[in-house]
Amino acid sequence: MKKPLVALLSGAGVSTDSGIPDYRGPNGLWRTDPEAEKLVTYEYYMGDPEIRRRSWRMRRDNRTLNARPNAAHLAVAELERSGVPVRVITQNVDGLHQLAGMPARKVVELHGTARSVVCTACHARTPMEDALARVDAGEDDPPCLACGGVLKSATVMFGERLDPADHRERRAHPVRRAGRRGRPGADRHRAAGTAAQGRRRGRLSGRTGRGPGRRAGPSVAG
């Protein structure tokens, strides 16, 4: 008999033991500091070079990339290695499941990854480490080396429109419907920090619309 697929939903709590704060929890930075929230809001980021400079400094200083997988990440990877078909659906952007040994193709990163940067003009993806090295070397808002466009973390920011290719990938995934409320057939939708939620085009907000004050957002800064 075929082994059942085990789908694990992985949230911020999984990474707190690796020293990564829950930015989006009740006391998280994104919910308590509107200025910090701007650093991860697409409209502000794209429109204000000073916000970008602060955002790069924040990423450089957080050093999320130095975090190591903890016992939870290792246990999940071990389960997969033992022959159990495992898929991880994570809100975390730290890449620690993959670092622990989970094959990347079996990890769906709902909020993207902080380990890469993407050019907002030509969509080239490059390692975050390279961008942070440029920041360390004195470029306070490093542009894309290929086209000069604005670079951003490959995480999903508040108010960001998702890449249609990414969206198709999620729709094609066998566990794609976990938590998803989007409109089937829509080629694009906006994200309120989570790719799992459909957004009406034209709205730009960090609120999810599921009650006053409720927010979803990128779960980690770095």
How far is the C-alpha of 72 from the C-alpha of 97, rounded, in Å?
9
- Contact between 146 and Zn ion by CB under 5 A: the answer reads yes
Pairing mode of beta strands 86-90, 6-10: parallel
- Contact between 144 and Zn ion by CB under 5 A: the answer reads yes
- Contact between 117 and Zn ion by CB under 5 A: the answer reads no
Enumerate residues 6+ apart whose C-beta is below 8 A from 107: 87, 88, 90, 97, 98
Enumerate residues 6+ apart whose C-beta is below 8 A from 17: 70, 71, 72
How far is the C-alpha of 198 from the C-alpha of 216, rounded, in Å?
12
- Contact between 147 and Zn ion by CB under 5 A: the answer reads yes
- Contact between 119 and Zn ion by CB under 5 A: the answer reads yes
- Contact between 133 and Zn ion by CB under 5 A: the answer reads no
Based on the residue annotation, tell me whether 111 is a catalytic residue of this protein: yes
Encoded one letter per residue, x for contact with Zn ion by CB under 5 A and - for no contact, window 150-169 reads --------------------
Taking the complex as a whole, how short is the minimal distance between the CB of residue 160 and Zn ion, in angstroms? 17
Query: Which of 21, 101, 149, 179 forms a contact with Zn ion (CB under 5 A)?
Result: 149
- Contact between 104 and Zn ion by CB under 5 A: the answer reads no
How far is the C-alpha of 110 from the C-alpha of 45, rounded, in Å?
20
Query: Which of 121, 135, 178, 186 forms a contact with Zn ion (CB under 5 A)?
Result: 121
Taking the complex as a whole, how short is the minimal distance between the CB of residue 123 and Zn ion, in angstroms? 7
3-state secondary structure of 160: strand
- Show contacts of 203-212: CB within 8 Å, 24+ apart: 204/42, 204/43, 204/159, 205/158, 205/159, 206/30, 206/37, 206/41, 206/158, 206/159
Of the candidates 97, 111, 167, 189, the residue annotated as catalytic is: 111
Query: Which of 71, 75, 84, 122 forms a contact with Zn ion (CB under 5 A)?
Result: 122
- Kindly list the catalytic residues: 111
Which stretches of the chain bind Zn ion, using CB under 5 A? 119, 121-122, 124, 144, 146-147, 149
